[in-house]
């Protein structure tokens, strides 16, 4: 007879553990957005001032160097990455690191759409490619933190300080939770819907001096959509990086981003945000260490994400199943947690190995992860019990 597991007494106060859009900051309320510039042009003096404030506060919280440009662009992080790929790649050999779904998307864009012959350094989910193969004479495209694999690069030591190519870094699940080595990164992109729990559809594009030099010295052979154009008269259009967006942004979303940036600054900035994410990961690490049915997709702790934490089921009752049945088990786990209202949207990414993905970024309270872990055990025993009963 299947074992009956009692439901835990405590519940997370906030069950939002989605990996994007992520949990709002603690204490968030729509009332905080009352000063949004609504019904006005984003090109009005007031609208542009709010966009410029968002850029300035981003620089402050992320500790972006003064000589780097920061722009708010369309299309979320994807749009920001695409702008860089389409505008800068072509004059040098290209290498791409592909160790999760979005890194593989950039491979498709570069090789199939732009039709650039590129070297792809790949790795299975849970691992990193051989970073020693990164060349200093090639352009490099990579994700700092694999949102769908729970793996991050430990640092930027694999990038040469005297590199000849430009580095394009998709940092969307790393920004505001991990230390980015700005001196090694020429292009950095993210969306505020990740680590700050912002609203969707807006990206942030950060360009270092070497990226600007590439834009001003190279014209791609292919047609350039308006949304991707960053130069005017052979020079970088600085207006984009001072609050004049290429297309119309949502000023309500911008106000929400400002609210999150103010919260981040008030709690102690990047240092405190990293500490909160690390503390959240530590809760799951301590739990997993004593829990035989679960393991991290990223087995090597040195490359384990502190934001998009990916877990796999290693219990023999499940690993002995056919692949489709394993995927079905993982879906039932996530469904059981959602039905109880204790963890929403924690299923693994559709292309990743079956499992759970729990967002641990700074907007999540550590106390909620403490309350969640007994529910993870409850869900597993409940779904595994159904296997035995069958």
- Give the pLDDT confidence score for residue 387 in this predicted structure: 85
Q: What is the enclosing helix (H) or strand (E) of 216? A: helix 209-217
Q: Could you read off the pLDDT of 316-344 as tens digits, one per residue?
A: 999 999 999 999 999 999 999 999 999 99
CA distance linking residue 180 with residue 220, whole number of Å: 29
Cα radius of gyration (the chain): 22
Query: Which residues, 6+ apart, have CB-to-CB distance to 51 below 8 Å?
Result: 42, 72, 243, 244, 245, 249, 254
Site of tokens 């949502």: 250
In this predicted structure, the answer to whether residue 199 has a pLDDT above a threshold of 50 is yes
Structure tokens at 26: 């603690």
Q: What is the pLDDT of residues 91-128, one digit of tens each?
A: 999 999 999 999 999 999 999 999 999 999 999 999 99
Domains of the chain: 30-265 (3.40.640.10), 269-389 (3.90.1150.10)
Q: Convert the pLDDT of each residue in 212-233 to its tens digit.
A: 999 999 999 999 999 999 999 9
Extended beta strands in 208-248, E state: 231-232, 235-236
- pLDDT 10s digits, 16-33: 999 999 999 999 999 999
SS (H, E, C) 142-209: EECEECCCCEECCCCCCCCCCCCCCEEEECCCCCCCCCCCHHHCCEEEEECCCCCCCCCCEEEEEECH
Provide the 10 A C-beta neighbour count for residue 168. 25
pLDDT at residue 3 tops 80: no
């Amino acid at each position: 007879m299947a074992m009956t597991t009692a439901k835990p007494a405590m519940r997370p106060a906030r069950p939002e553990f989605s990996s994007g859009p992520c949990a709002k900051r603690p204490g968030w309320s729509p009332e905080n957005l009352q000063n949004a510039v609504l019904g006005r042009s984003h090109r009005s003096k007031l609208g542009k001032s709010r966009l410029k404030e968002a850029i300035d506060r981003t620089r402050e919280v992320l500790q972006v160097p003064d000589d780097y440009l920061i722009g708010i662009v369309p299309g979320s992080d994807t749009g920001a990455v695409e702008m860089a790929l389409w505008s800068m790649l072509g004059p040098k050999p290209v290498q791409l690191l592909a160790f999760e779904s979005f890194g593989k998307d950039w491979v498709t864009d570069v090789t199939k759409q732009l039709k650039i012959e590129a070297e792809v350094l790949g790795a299975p989910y849970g691992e990193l490619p051989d970073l020693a193969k990164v060349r200093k004479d090639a352009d490099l495209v990579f994700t700092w933190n694999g949102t769908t694999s729970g793996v991050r690069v430990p640092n930027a030591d694999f990038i040469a300080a005297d590199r000849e190519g430009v580095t394009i870094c998709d940092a969307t699940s790393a920004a505001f939770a991990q230390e980015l080595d700005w001196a090694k990164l020429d292009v950095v992109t993210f969306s505020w819907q990740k680590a700050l729990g912002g609203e969707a559809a807006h990206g942030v594009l950060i360009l270092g001096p070497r990226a600007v030099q590439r834009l001003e010295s190279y014209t791609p052979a292919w047609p350039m959509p308006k949304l991707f154009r960053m130069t005017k008269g052979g020079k970088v259009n600085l207006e984009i990086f001072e609050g004049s967006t290429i297309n119309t942004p949502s000023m309500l979303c911008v106000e929400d981003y400002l609210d999150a940036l103010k919260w981040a600054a008030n709690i102690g900035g990047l240092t405190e945000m990293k500490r909160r994410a690390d503390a959240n990961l530590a809760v799951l690490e301590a739990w997993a260490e004593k829990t035989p049915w679960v393991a991290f997709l990223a087995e090597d702790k040195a490359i384990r994400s502190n934001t998009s934490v990916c877990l796999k089921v290693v219990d023999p009752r499940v690993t002995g199943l056919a692949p489709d049945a394993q995927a079905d088990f993982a879906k039932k786990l996530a469904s059981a947690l959602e039905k109880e209202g204790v963890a929403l949207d924690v299923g693994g990414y559709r292309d990743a190995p079956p499992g759970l993905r729990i967002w641990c970024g700074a907007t999540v309270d550590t106390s909620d992860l403490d309350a969640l872990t007994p529910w993870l055990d409850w869900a597993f025993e409940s779904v595994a019990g159904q296997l035995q009963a069958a």
